[in-house]
Amino acid sequence: MNIAMLGTGLIGTFYTMSLHGLRSRDKVVSVYSRSEERGAKFAKENNIPRWTTNLQEAVSDPEVDVVVVGLPNDLHKEAIFAAADAGKAVLCTKPLGRNGREAWEILQKVEQAGVFHGYLEDLVYSPKHLKAHASVENGAIGKVLWVRSREAHPGPHSDWFWNPEKSGGGAIIDLGCHCIEIGRSFIGKNIRPVEVVCWADTQVKPIAAEDHAIGLVKYQNGAIGQFEVSWCFRGGMELKDEVAGVDGSIRLDNFLRTGFEMFSAPGKKGYVAEKAESDSGWLFPVGDEVHELGYNDMFADMFNAIEQGKKPIEDFYDGYVVNAIMDACYKSVKTKKWEPVEIKEWRGLDEVEPLSAFVEYDENHWLVKEEILPDGRKKVILKEKAGGEIIEKDI
């Protein structure tokens, strides 16, 4: 694939590192930057033949098959519309829009134009997520009841993130979008998110948006996706997930302290890992950052899907659903109540079985639990089916 990369900031850099790594046959052939100097430097450093300060020129380049949008949130819509008008496949970073309305307009546009669209939610493509997800699909932990996803770091690296008019919000829109999609991925993307309750506050930073939030997303089958986000967490970037099923559980640490620890008294001198706060003392580098963050598997899925005429794992409909969930979160922060998730067109299941996992002990009892006690006795707690009484017995 020949790619036009829009944006030469942090994500443009990570995406290009991923695309040009490991002798990839997919190449960035053109890069758009608003600065001539930055575009030329980025092109030279990454072996990209052309650069331009004209977005239109980048998306309509006849050699380009796929446009990748790595621009600030307020520019996603304009860039995607330009790519769709040029008839190009378009991949967009997270969040798709600054709110559900903008994301819906974007979705309508690419569907009407009939172009391929992929939502670049890298964290559902991390190697750990992919393995954990496959295990969940195989029934390794039974029905998923609860997913907790946490992303916390000391705050974003560019001015526009901190301006809600440009970004659409604070830590929820920036980090919550990842955590919400991780929850959907484990719970089941065809299960409708129905309502949310969310707390958010501006505890530390002198900004108009939230720098902390915790939210619960309730799904139609009763499963809960919990997200925790912070722009004030000290010590690096935490990306942690927990999945609780009826028959098992999973815990994932995707980034900080994942088994690579270094102590440096003089300092490593330079970059350690994304959002690392120091380059001396105890350091937690990451082996292959673009791989651990999911970018390699994400682009492989996108390009395979384009070649095979399939849908990728994540497309703009997913981006739209995530934006709709975040809209409900912002509403709940204000009302302090559960708020419905308003989805214009639900494309998943209409009917789902409520989560229930009653285990029959015998004809007359449900099993509540079984345990071996410190003195060696084995005991069961049972519920009588007829009268509902809870009893225990040694077995």
| Residues at the site binding ligand NAD, with contacts judged by CB under 6 A | 7-12, 33-34, 70-73, 75, 93-94, 120, 122, 158
Nearer to ligand NAD, 120 or 197 (CB): 120
Please report how close the Cβ of residue 40 comes to ligand NAD at its closest, in angstroms: 13
Please report how close the Cβ of residue 64 comes to ligand NAD at its closest, in angstroms: 18
For residue 53 the two structure tokens come to 């300060």
φ/ψ (deg, to 5) at 263: -115, 130
* Alpha-carbon span 241 to 78, nearest angstrom: 33
Please report how close the Cβ of residue 287 comes to ligand NAD at its closest, in angstroms: 17
Nearer to ligand NAD, 40 or 224 (CB): 40
Please report how close the Cβ of residue 332 comes to ligand NAD at its closest, in angstroms: 22
Nearer to ligand NAD, 61 or 314 (CB): 314
* Alpha-carbon span 395 to 391, nearest angstrom: 13
* Alpha-carbon span 67 to 82, nearest angstrom: 10
Please report how close the Cβ of residue 370 comes to ligand NAD at its closest, in angstroms: 43
Count of beta carbons in the 10 Å neighbourhood of residue 60: 17
Nearer to ligand NAD, 170 or 245 (CB): 170
Place of tokens 């919990």: 226
- With contact defined as beta carbons under 8 Å apart, do 313 and 120 qualify? no
Nearer to ligand NAD, 54 or 278 (CB): 54
Closest CA relative to residue 322, chosen from 201, 233, 215, 237: 215
309 φψ region: left (φ > 0), alpha (ψ -120 to 50), beta (else): left
Nearer to ligand NAD, 179 or 196 (CB): 179
- With contact defined as beta carbons under 8 Å apart, do 151 and 238 qualify? yes
Nearer to ligand NAD, 34 or 379 (CB): 34
263 φψ region: left (φ > 0), alpha (ψ -120 to 50), beta (else): beta
Bridge partner list, 67: 4, 90
Task: Look at the chain and count its residues.
Answer: 395
3-state secondary structure of 179: helix
Place of tokens 């519309």: 81
Nearer to ligand NAD, 39 or 188 (CB): 39
Nearer to ligand NAD, 72 or 285 (CB): 72
Q: Which residues, at least 6 apart from 25, have a Cβ–Cβ distance to it below 8 Å?
A: none
Please report how close the Cβ of residue 48 comes to ligand NAD at its closest, in angstroms: 14
C-alpha separations of 179 from 240, 259, 284, 361 in Å: 9, 23, 22, 38
- With contact defined as beta carbons under 8 Å apart, do 228 and 238 qualify? no
Q: Helices 316-335 and 100-113: crossing angle, nearest 10°? A: 170
* Alpha-carbon span 204 to 243, nearest angstrom: 30
Please report how close the Cβ of residue 21 comes to ligand NAD at its closest, in angstroms: 16
Nearer to ligand NAD, 75 or 191 (CB): 75
Q: Which residues, at least 6 apart from 20, have a Cβ–Cβ distance to it below 8 Å?
A: 27, 28, 46, 47
Shortest-Cβ-distance residue relative to ligand NAD: 9
